C-alpha cells in the first residue's frame, strides 16, 4: 500500500463561505447563537431527564440518564419548550424580516430583555 492510500482524503468546500445576512460577521454571530441555542436545548433536556428520574425515586446516574426514554407526553412538552425558546431567541430576526422596522425590532428586543429580567423575579 502506498502512503497516499493510507491517508484519508480531506474534503473541504471550495470558494468563499456564503453568508445570508448583511455581513459575514453577522452570519458568524448568528451561527454561534444557533450553536449555543442547541447546547442550551440539550442541557435543558438532560436536566428534565434528571428531574423526572428523581421524581420516580431513582438516582440519576449516567446509565439511568442514557437509558431514559421519554414518552410521547414528555416529548410533546419538550417540543413546546423548544418552540417557545426558538421564538424568543429569533423574534428579533423574524420581526425585521416580516416587514417590521428596525425600531420595532429594537422595541421587541427591549421587551424580550425585560421579560427575561422579570422571569427571575417570579
pLDDT value of residue 28: 84
Please state, in angstroms and rounded to a whole number, the distance separating the CA atoms of residues 81 and 89: 12
Task: Answer yes or no: do 65 and 91 share one domain.
Answer: no
Task: Answer yes or no: do 64 and 26 share one domain.
Answer: yes
Assess if residue 57 is contained within a domain: yes
pLDDT value of residue 49: 96
C-alpha cell at 56: 420516580
Long-range contacts, stretch 27-36, CB < 8 angstroms, 24+ apart = 30/93, 33/89
pTM of the model: 0.59
Assess if residue 83 is contained within a domain: yes
pLDDT value of residue 122: 47
pLDDT value of residue 103: 55
pLDDT, one tens digit per residue, over 65-92 is 999 999 999 999 999 999 999 998 888 7
Task: Answer yes or no: do 85 and 122 share one domain.
Answer: yes
Domain final position from 69, 92, 107: 69
Task: Answer yes or no: do 34 and 60 share one domain.
Answer: yes
What is the tally of structural domains in the chain?
A: 2
Query: What stretches in the chain show pLDDT beneath 50?
Result: 122
Q: Which residues fall within 8 angstroms of residue 81, CB to CB, at 6 or more apart?
A: 44
CA atoms within 13 A on the CB side of 80: 6
pLDDT value of residue 56: 93
90-104 per-residue burial string, b: 16 or more CB within 10 A, e: under 16: eebeebbeeeeeeee
Assess if residue 8 is contained within a domain: no
Domain final position from 69, 90, 107: 69
Assess if residue 2 is contained within a domain: no
pLDDT value of residue 9: 73
Task: Answer yes or no: do 44 and 33 share one domain.
Answer: yes
Handedness of CA 88, 90, 93, 95 (dihedral sign): negative
Q: State which residues form the domain around 34.
A: 20-69
Task: Answer yes or no: do 55 and 98 share one domain.
Answer: no
pLDDT value of residue 10: 66
Amino acid at each position: 500500500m502506498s502512503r497516499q492510500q493510507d491517508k484519508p482524503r480531506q474534503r473541504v468546500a471550495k470558494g468563499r463561505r456564503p453568508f445570508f445576512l448583511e455581513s459575514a460577521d453577522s452570519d458568524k454571530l448568528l451561527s454561534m447563537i444557533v450553536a449555543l441555542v442547541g447546547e442550551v436545548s440539550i442541557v435543558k433536556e438532560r436536566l428534565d431527564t434528571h428531574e423526572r428520574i428523581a421524581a420516580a425515586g431513582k438516582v440519576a446516574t449516567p446509565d439511568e440518564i442514557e437509558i431514559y426514554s421519554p414518552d410521547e407526553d414528555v416529548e410533546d412538552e419538550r417540543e413546546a419548550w423548544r418552540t417557545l425558546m426558538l421564538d424568543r431567541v429569533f423574534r428579533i430576526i423574524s420581526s425585521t424580516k416580516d416587514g417590521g422596522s428596525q425600531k420595532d425590532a429594537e422595541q421587541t428586543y427591549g421587551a424580550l430583555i425585560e421579560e427575561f429580567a422579570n422571569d427571575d423575579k417570579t
